[in-house]
Amino acid sequence: MLSFFAIFLAQAPTRLPETVVIETRQATPLADASPSVSRLDVTAATESGLTSLTSLLGGAPGVYATEQSGEGSVGSLFLRGTNSTQTAVLLDGRRLPQGFSSSYEIGRYRIFGLSSVEILRGPSSSLYGANALGGVIDLRQQSPLSAKAGSTLVAEGGSYGRGSLGLAFLSNNAAGPLAATNGTAISLSASHDDGWRQNGDRDALSTYLKHEWRLSPNLVFDLVGSADHGKAGLPGQDIGGTASLTDWQRDSGWLLSPGLRFQDANTDATIFWSRAGSAISSVTAPFANRYLLDRDELTAFVDRKVRADLTLGLGLTYERSTFEQFDVTTNGQTWADTHESLGVWTRADWQVTSVDRIRASVRDDRFTDFGGKTTGDFTYSHRFTKELLAHAKVGTAYRAPAANDLAYGTHLGLPLRPESNTGTEIGLRHENAVPGALSWTLVAFRNELTDLIDFNPISYQTYNIAKARTQGVEAGLETRPAKGLRLFGATTWLDSEVRSADYYFSTGMAGDKLLRRPTLTLTLGLEVIPNDDWTFGASASHLCGREDYDWNSGSRVNLPDATFVRVWLRRILSDKTEISLRIENLFGEDAPPAAFGFGAQPRSAYVGLTRKF
């Protein structure tokens, strides 16, 4: 969260034109994308010492992402004020495994080995289905067919017993002027952290895999995979001593997905099957549960250019998810269920004139265990100049009821409806490839959230009752006013309101703000490169206007405003070796960055070594 420089490097004016996949599920130029789309450069982020997905996302416009107990711990994610459970998280377009609450435990994902992270803010269910109520995040690996073969080793150590090690390997059969026809990219990362609070230790392992094989000039087979495992103590929960079952959490997940991609002058088509699973064991008094999830997904979609100015698309997704809940102390199964769903969508992309464009899509999803949902969106864009694009969108999206929404039954036996969002936005994107020019985005947005799922605090039975609204303005910019100097920044103003009479166990009443979301997030920074050997950087992130709930007193509390500063430097020793230093929370800010009772990790320093082979 504390550094933002990686967010805009993908839009830097000195780089080659970038493409993004997330908005249409097909590669399109970033300059043509909505200003609600960001592409985050992972290589640059890694060079500044960022390691987790949470820390990378935390500086993007419209995104509030934070780690509860310091580096690598459980993360919270709010896109435009929506909940962590209302954003879909993908790996190369494949949905990563979720937990019982539909959240993705983003704190356990490492960014080492990725090429970029793409963000689509706003309702996105018409292309991505369930859980895309607030938006979509897609972790992108580099293509082993086009990337340069080689290996990278990264090691780092520092405060509070933290140590990490990463190894990335890429090989292909490229030979001289001949392009590769098959290749494989694998990355492995491991970390240990003693933590800065009692019972705050953490261990994490993460790996990503991507294999590509060009079967013909137009057809590519790919295999995408991931696996991760995390083990952590829970600070503040060690109330029973070393023999107590009240002080730890273990998370693991995996994904394996083969697919085919076809592309020619007029047609782009993709089909893939995914098998994914997760296991989460969390022990906090008085609960001791283990949750298992297995999911199969078959997705196919095709876009066809029917004439020079019009592209039509059609897609289908079938999913089958199995849930199991166990009591850790007895290893007895307490609940199990299986859900199936079928979604069909269609889209159109019409270049009305040389400067006007219309995109529209509609999708229908049907479920075995709860009501279906029809969603859609309509987008209009106008290009004022080659660099300046105006954009307006209205769309609907949903979050399907999660396993823990159904595990204890529903109030009066009434069927649950998916949570819904009707979102509107209008914005501008300015992309300029001229060195020294200013690149920026500006978006005003509004989300109307209905049918939010709440529960009876006595029976834990669920029902659709809650309503909320979020609205605001988000902006980001970057400029290079002089050689070796880069300035960057982002800000989000968010206004949120509970619309229902009672919200989540009386933590909010009509008119109250949604908990934990800052009213204002502001990030500013600079990076100085005085010569080819040295890089210096610093950034500051300011949060204000946050409220949380104190469960001990049963009342709302105001969280103090906070400013977190980080600095980093990098020294290039040779074309294959670099050393680095970073300092987090430079001035020792102690205000909680995440939630009431979760103070900031104190000032900490880390030294790293990068070696390329």
By three-state DSSP, how is residue 284 classified?
strand
Q: What are the DSSP E strand ranges found in 285-418?
A: 287-307, 310-327, 332-351, 356-367, 373-383, 388-399
**How confident is residue 285, by pLDDT bands cut at 50, 70 and 90?**
low
- Residue 235: pLDDT over 80: no
Task: Note the pLDDT of residue 276.
Answer: 95
Distances (CA, A) of 563 to 200, 359, 409, 525: 23, 40, 43, 13
What span, in angstroms and rounded, lies between the C-alpha atoms of 324 and 579?
46
135-144, 266-275, 454-463, 523-532: range with lowest mean pLDDT: 454-463
Task: Note the pLDDT of residue 25.
Answer: 93
Average pLDDT, integer, range 274-298? 84
Higher-confidence residue of 185 and 487: namely: 185
Higher-confidence residue of 381 and 488: namely: 381
Average pLDDT, integer, range 173-183? 92
Average pLDDT, integer, range 437-456? 90
**How confident is residue 284, by pLDDT bands cut at 50, 70 and 90?**
low
- Residue 404: pLDDT over 90: no
- In this prediction, what percent of the chain has a pLDDT beyond 70? 91
| Cβ-proximal residues to 119 (8 Å cutoff; 6+ apart), any chain | 22, 37, 38, 39, 40, 57, 60, 63, 79, 135, 136, 137
Tens of pLDDT, residue by residue over 102-115, are 777 777 788 899 99
- Residue 343: pLDDT over 90: yes
Per-chain mean pLDDT for the chain: 88
Distances (CA, A) of 329 to 236, 429, 491, 608: 21, 54, 47, 41
What is the Rg, in whole angstroms, of the alpha carbon atoms belonging to the chain? 23
pTM over 0.85: yes
- Residue 463: pLDDT over 90: no
- Residue 126: pLDDT over 90: yes
CB atoms within 10 A of CB 503: 21
Q: Which stretch, 81-90, 284-293, 435-444, 451-460, has highest mean pLDDT?
A: 81-90
Average pLDDT, integer, range 217-229? 96
**How confident is residue 5, by pLDDT bands cut at 50, 70 and 90?**
very low
Task: Note the pLDDT of residue 309.
Answer: 95
N- to C-terminal Cα distance for the chain?
A: 31
Report residue 43: phi and psi, to 5°: -60, -45
Task: Note the pLDDT of residue 4.
Answer: 35
Task: Note the pLDDT of residue 10.
Answer: 35
Higher-confidence residue of 341 and 369: namely: 341
Tens of pLDDT, residue by residue over 562-610, are 999 999 999 999 999 999 999 999 999 999 888 787 888 999 999 999 9
Task: Note the pLDDT of residue 73.
Answer: 65
By three-state DSSP, how is residue 333 classified?
strand
104: alpha, beta or left? (left if phi > 0; alpha if psi -120 to 50): alpha
What span, in angstroms and rounded, lies between the C-alpha atoms of 95 and 269?
18
Instruction: Identify whether the C-beta of residue 69 lies closer than 8 Å to the C-beta of residue 200.
Output: yes
When the candidates are 3.40.50.920, 3.40.630.30, 2.40.170.20, 1.20.1250.20, the CATH number that belongs to 5-612 is 2.40.170.20
Using CB atoms within 10 Å of the CB of residue 214, give its burial: 0 to 12 exposed, 13 to 18 middle, 19+ buried.
middle
- Residue 12: pLDDT over 80: no
CB atoms within 10 A of CB 252: 18
Task: Note the pLDDT of residue 272.
Answer: 98
- Residue 7: pLDDT over 60: no
Average pLDDT, integer, range 301-324? 95
Give the pair of three-digit tokens for residue 338: 């299986």
206-220, 448-462, 466-480: range with lowest mean pLDDT: 448-462
CB atoms within 10 A of CB 498: 23
Task: Note the pLDDT of residue 519.
Answer: 96
Domain ranges of the chain: 5-612
Task: Note the pLDDT of residue 108.
Answer: 73
Average pLDDT, integer, range 208-214? 97
